[in-house]
Structure 1
Amino acid sequence: MDRTSETQSQSANTKIEPQLSLVVPTFNEAGNVALLVEKLEGVLADIQWEITFVDDNSPDGTADVVKELGKSKSYVHCIKRIGRRGLSSACVEGMASSNAPIVAVMDADLQHDETVLPQMFEMVAGGKDLVLASRFYGGQTAEEGLTKFREMGSNVANWIANLVTGTKITDPMTGFFMLKRERFEHVAPKLSSEGFKILLDIIATARNMGSPLDIGEVGFKFRARHDGESKMSPLVAVQFFGLALSKMTGGLLPVSFLLFALVGAFGVVVHLVALTLASSLFGFNFTNAQLFATLVAMTSNFHLNNILTYANQQLRGPKYWRGLLSFYAVCAIPAIANVSVAAFIFEKNSLFYVAAIAGILISMVFNYAMTRIFTWRIK
């Protein structure tokens, strides 16, 4: 082998480790990924980088588009997740897969301004633990990418997030940030796999673990979405408040339990309305009215938990109906206890609603623990 061939062989076998690893969670973003990579190539020419798209089995073929790009661009990777969904868990999985000393998270929809990435990289390489790209820092506004209503909601959420994290940063709700991988790995075991606000979770968890992050900010112009539909919904907002409450307890109460309890609280209202209707409109005696109301509330609770508490494991099609039957079966024992305890209290002192609520509280914790295992199959 001549020297030129030997040099080429050595070069081909030498892998250049990236300095920066970008993680981009995706769901139905096939129309955006190629343009995002093209834009990143233009601004990251002086940095060794890679990008990992973590795709939740998008029906529009996002993963296929990424894999096709990866054939000609070795720095483009794809993690296609089957049976797992959720932005936070996708970010955690993507960052955990990287060897780069610095990792970043951004969206695929081109609303995040990629031109600030070199500045963010310099700040983290220069000593900052975490740098976030803020929609409101340095006089920036998000009016191009957010409606007035969503911007107002974002401001309220920012206030709550700063209260939870103990920081005074301008945009704790941003999904665009960069941090040292070693700091991520330190907090990773304590992060929630539920919800959509991973940055809030990282900052609050580091603080709760007694090692608050040294945080920097850069401003950027929040652009309108290029293609596809926004993932923001009222359910995302509710999940955010669940995460905030969880972090206020130091993670003692899981997000899923708090959401389950929230659904249960709404179920109390459903139960009492159904109880009143069964008693006054249908003429049921108390025991039969309580039984009817329990069944109605159980059905309501299953549906809301399926789309909210367990959105990442949401049951659809035939699985939905099997899940409902499983939910009925699991909740049957505490439901019997519910009716029995309520009927006993009612017979003793005739406190109609107190008796009903006492019966409901008997079953909540049992239902949470057992339905996680048998209905949504969470081990």
Structure 2
Amino acid sequence: MDDNPHLTIILPTYNEAENIAELIPQIQTRFSGVPFLLFVVDDASPDGTADVAHKLNEQYGNIEVLTPPMRRGLGAALRYAYDRVTTAYILSSDSDMSFSVNQMIELYGTIQAREHDMVLGSRWCPGGSYEAPEFRIRLKKMASAIGNIVVRVLAGLPVTDVSANFRVLRKDAWDRIDAVENTNAMLFEMVFKC
């Protein structure tokens, strides 16, 4: 097996200490046949998320904790991490385990099997899910559904979920995107520019 990493997995975090303590060992096990790096992009979590990631790196040796210079939003954190990637592929996923590690490996396999620049995961496909059904989350879900319809119509792309941070792309595609958004809007921007 080639030991040079082919993939960088990016997990943006804010107060995800408990989740990454469970998620990262799952990723390490499931991706054991794939040489990869893991970037934990921590936004100054007060719960010790970065400490947990550093401790896990002592065990696995392929984790880098990135701390953006200032908190400016998910888009800025992702750009900060994506710009530091040196591998051929980038996979990013939320750290709250809203997507399973099996779905991550499936997403990575899809981009390798096809000649796409980017492959998006979706909460709207069979087997997909959205966060807990409290009122604020239901509003987010409705806004996401409307936004995804608008993107499908305006961009003419057959996508169902551009607002989820669950995607894999080629590093050379990222280098062409020239993203500027600091908020979650960067997820939309990536699709439009890719």
For the superposition of Structure 1 and Structure 2, which TM-score range results when normalised by the shorter chain? Answer: 0.7 to 0.9
Distance 1:63 1:21, change over 3 A: same
1:271-290 to structure 2, matched below 5 A, reads none
TM value normalised by structure 1: 0.47
Partner of 2:160: 170
Partner of 1:200: 188
Number of residue pairs the alignment of both structures matches: 189
Give the whole-Å Cα distance in 1 for the aligned partners of 2:176 and 2:110.
20
Give the aligned residue type for 1:167. L
| Partner residue of 1:136 out of 124, 127, 131 | 124
Give the whole-Å Cα distance in 2 for the aligned partners of 1:195 and 1:83.
13
In the alignment, is residue 153 of structure 1 matched against residue 140 of structure 2?
no
Partner of 2:94: 107
Distance 1:67 1:144, change over 3 A: closer
Partner of 1:311: none
Partner of 1:181: 171
Alignment partner of 1:34: what SS?
helix
Give the aligned residue type for 1:46. G
Give the whole-Å Cα distance in 1 for the aligned partners of 2:109 and 2:17.
31
Give the whole-Å Cα distance in 2 for the aligned partners of 1:38 and 1:91.
22
| Contact 1:154–1:173 (8 Å) recurs in 2 | yes
Partner of 1:75: 62
Give the aligned residue type for 2:79. V
1:215-254 to structure 2, matched below 5 A, reads none
Give the whole-Å Cα distance in 2 for the aligned partners of 1:83 and 1:44.
31
Partner of 1:224: none
Give the whole-Å Cα distance in 2 for the aligned partners of 1:179 and 1:197.
17
| Partner residue of 1:65 out of 45, 49, 52 | 52
If each structure's strand is expressed as a fraction of its own residues, which one has the higher value? 2
Distance 1:62 1:87, change over 3 A: same
Give the whole-Å Cα distance in 2 for the aligned partners of 1:82 and 1:60.
18
| Contact 1:88–1:193 (8 Å) recurs in 2 | yes
| Contact 2:164–2:187 (8 Å) recurs in 1 | yes
| Contact 2:98–2:130 (8 Å) recurs in 1 | no
In the alignment, is residue 19 of structure 1 matched against residue 9 of structure 2?
no
How much identity, in percent, do the aligned residues show?
23
Larger Rg: 1
**Higher RCO (C-alpha 8 Å, min separation 6):** 2
Partner of 2:107: 120
Deviation at 1:103, TM superposition (A): 0.4
| Contact 1:103–1:181 (8 Å) recurs in 2 | yes
